[in-house]
Structure 1
């Protein structure tokens, strides 16, 4: 009798452990565009085109800047940093986005999801820093053109790039570490085709107040601080141009492409942050579209904007294809 009771207790204990482990699902389930599953294959066509154009455009700029000594200037080196960051962002998002729309591959492991959200956040943080460096570059070029090359030397630019990467790693690395300590006991179905910190955090069954506070800290330290510093840089540029009153249009024309890149990067990102924190009643489709725009639009449009506005760069690219 006691042996049967012990066996029953052991069976119940193992069953309980099995149920508990089934709740701690080893996978997240990604989602494409809800309600449009039947046409996902057709939706994949514009996504594939965006990826191809973005990868080719950024790769061409990197190749031209590397092989042409006349482009070894601070402005084009910072543009190369931007291109590398955009390529990294494309590589980080392409497997899951195209996997869903082309192959209906929706499952992603916890570790892969945490790694993806880390790299997405990291690369966006680095891109924000690079845009800030590019604003500083334009300020130096207009404020002190005679000392421009001596101030922004190649070793100094390399140190700036290293600081951007280290700053991003230091700020973003706690995110997956904080998420990894949670228990996930819900359906774990995400509403995007890639992993986002805010959404993965909502799947947790634990108290996420620390993550919420740290998420706000990251937003203030990167998006808000960098955008304010970029704004101050352009205020100083305008003051310099107005005070000098010489070649104003030509000086400001060199900033147009950078201003476009700043607007393309920050506008959807700010809207998305506001919607996730305050727009609880907003349309889920709007959140999904803004998410795709914030990830895929900057890598797509940055090469186009800089090729259109920079005659020197455009001439070098045309020369490659003409040969």
Structure 2
């Protein structure tokens, strides 16, 4: 059964089509490019377009979102590092970039030359099962998974993908051993769940929430610190006694490391101001995201911990650069 586009998808299309209203001071200023390494309508693209109008106000310059999809964000990072380090070119860096050398054999730049300045958003995942599986909560699912072993198939979108890493954490924490079934991406995982091709899997809140609210899928737990406004009835894994099952996608505004400190501070302050706006936080929540309220040393520490954790999971899963 194909997935019907939720209202949020229509809102995304309207957002992408809407012209950017610029303040008077920005209409004659030099534009700032915000590079996104993913296609239009992907979650990082939507986050960028939520932030861009308010960043235009905060910086006094038009902020233009520019999609450079491909190679896990490497094409956008290359474009960032080729541009002058003057604050006129920014990047919406994803959590995937620091571990790129572990999954891509030839990365034509030093990932350490991309400096994350200020967090923007994070997108947790939700453990999904079809109602026909006959479980009501995580405890029931784990009992079934232990009884079924490898006869219980789960969907993922690649060994290094967030849905597969989330299942790896759940396996490590509980001892279950479901059978991996690979798909091209998250929409295909959701279709696999809806058609019965797989019986469990992780998906991002943005894509899964409409299916949960419509009763076509059940959400058993989310990989965030606290419940999400989009799915308030679904507990987080820490609440369920599994605090180690915490992973997802996250994004931060980044610049070339050679960018002058004063420019870095200006951009960081603008992102902080925009991120703290109630309307920004509400729009991120409606898109299945949570704000990532980190910057500076705290963001650097967070990035290092997340990088090391991902690399550890890659080693356990046998991920090799291709």
TM-score (norm 1): 0.27
| Higher Cα Rg, which structure | 1
TM-score (norm 2): 0.27
Judging by fraction of residues, say which structure has more helix. Answer: 1
